[in-house]
């Protein structure tokens, strides 16, 4: 898509929607129910060139929350819609809904039935730099397993789980409460603006997450094409490719 000249914003939406629909990850189809017994989803997307952004939190019954988030950005004056209001908006926009939650949702790869009430987490994200120099980021999650009804983490929060501007695009994964308290994606962007390298900025943010008792992972692409994928946990499912570097796919170091 990037080679064909498509915008970074459309590429990150497509990538995240594919991961949501796959059921392989803790987002979209691979999400687990909250303590009230039903699935709530969070997602956000941001266009670096315009700083336009959209998000949904605690939305129920849509197949691709990232597509709803993009519609929020494009079709409303708001940045975030939540709960019933987000679902009503999605329906008004004709977004795809889940027909039968009992058969639609599946356990993602690496998660077992006895773990869905534990405080495990997972997120999908994408960042992209297009041929015009445009940057974009998108993030989506089903939240932590065993979460309370209505819980919202960093993923739908612009500046926490997702950030894009003229110079950088960032998506975060990990324990959302700790990422929020550590400053999140925007803290990395501001450190880079102040002169830090992306690697240094990410390391400082991850160290703060760790100090607060959590773990996290970051994917980042800069306006110069630098790609950084870093984490302070045992592993992070990740992949990257560019016009100047071959495809990289990994989970562990």
pLDDT in tens, 41-83: 999 999 999 999 999 999 999 999 999 999 999 999 999 999 9
Active site residue 123: yes
Question: What domain range is 237 assigned to?
Answer: 8-250
Q: Is 3 among the domain residues?
A: no
pLDDT tens-place string over residues 100-145: 999 999 988 877 777 666 656 789 999 999 999 999 999 999 998 8
Question: What confidence tens digit (pLDDT) does each residue in 7-53 have?
Answer: 999 999 999 999 999 999 999 999 999 999 999 999 999 999 999 99
Question: Does any domain span residue 138?
Answer: yes
Altogether, the residues listed in the chain come to a count of: 253
Match 């006895």 to its residue by tokens.
114
pLDDT for 118:
63
Gap between the Cα atoms of 173 and 164, Å rounded: 16
In a domain, 180, yes or no: yes
Instruction: Please report whether residue 2 resides in a domain.
Output: no
> Is there a domain that residue 12 lies in?
yes
Whether 237 maps to a domain, the answer reads yes
**136 lies in a domain?**
yes
Q: What is the pTM of this model?
A: 0.96
DSSP characters over the chain: -TTTT--HHHHHHHHHHHHHHHSSSSSGGG----TTSS--EEEEEEETTT--EEEEEEE-SBS-HHHHHHHHHHHSS-SEEEHHHHHHHHHHTT--B-S-HHHH--PPTT--GGGTTS-----EEEEEE-TTS-EEEEEEE---TTPPTT---STTSBTTTEEE-SSEEEEEEE-HHHHHHTTHHHHHHHHHHTT--HHHHHHHHHHHHHHTT--EEEEEEETT--EEEEESSS---EEEEETTEEEEEES--
Asked whether residue 28 is domain-assigned, the answer is yes
Q: How many domains does the chain have?
A: 1
Catalytic residue among 35, 50, 123, 139: 123
Q: What is the CATH number of the domain that holds 108?
A: 3.60.20.30
Q: Which residue has the higher pLDDT, 241 or 144?
A: 241
Q: What confidence tens digit (pLDDT) does each residue in 174-231 have? A: 999 999 999 999 999 999 999 999 999 999 999 999 999 999 999 999 999 999 999 9
């Amino acid at each position: 898509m990037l080679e064909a000249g498509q915008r970074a914003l459309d590429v990150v939406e497509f990538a995240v929607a594919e991961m949501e629909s796959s059921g392989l990850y803790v987002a979209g189809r691979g999400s687990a129910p909250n303590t009230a017994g039903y699935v709530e989803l969070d997602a956000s997307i941001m266009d670096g060139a315009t700083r336009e952004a959209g998000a949904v939190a605690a939305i129920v019954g849509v197949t691709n929350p990232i597509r709803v988030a993009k519609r929020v950005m494009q079709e409303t004056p708001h940045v975030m819609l939540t709960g019933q209001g987000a679902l009503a908006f999605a329906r008004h926009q004709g977004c795809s809904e889940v027909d039968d939650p009992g058969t639609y949702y599946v356990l993602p790869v690496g998660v077992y039935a006895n773990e869905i009430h534990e405080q495990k987490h997972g997120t999908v994200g994408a960042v992209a730099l297009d041929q015009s120099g445009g940057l974009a980021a998108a993030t989506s999650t089903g939240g932590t397993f065993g979460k309370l009804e209505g819980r919202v983490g960093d993923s739908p929060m612009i500046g926490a789980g997702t950030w894009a501007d003229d110079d950088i695009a960032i998506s975060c994964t990990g324990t959302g409460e700790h990422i929020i308290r550590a400053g999140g994606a925007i803290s990395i962007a501001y450190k880079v603006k102040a002169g830090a390298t992306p690697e240094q900025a990410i390391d400082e943010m991850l160290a703060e997450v760790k100090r607060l008792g959590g773990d996290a992972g970051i994917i980042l692409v800069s306006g110069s094409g630098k790609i950084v994928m870093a984490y302070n946990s045992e592993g992070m499912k990740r992949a990257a490719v560019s016009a100047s570097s071959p495809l990289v796919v990994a989970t562990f170091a």
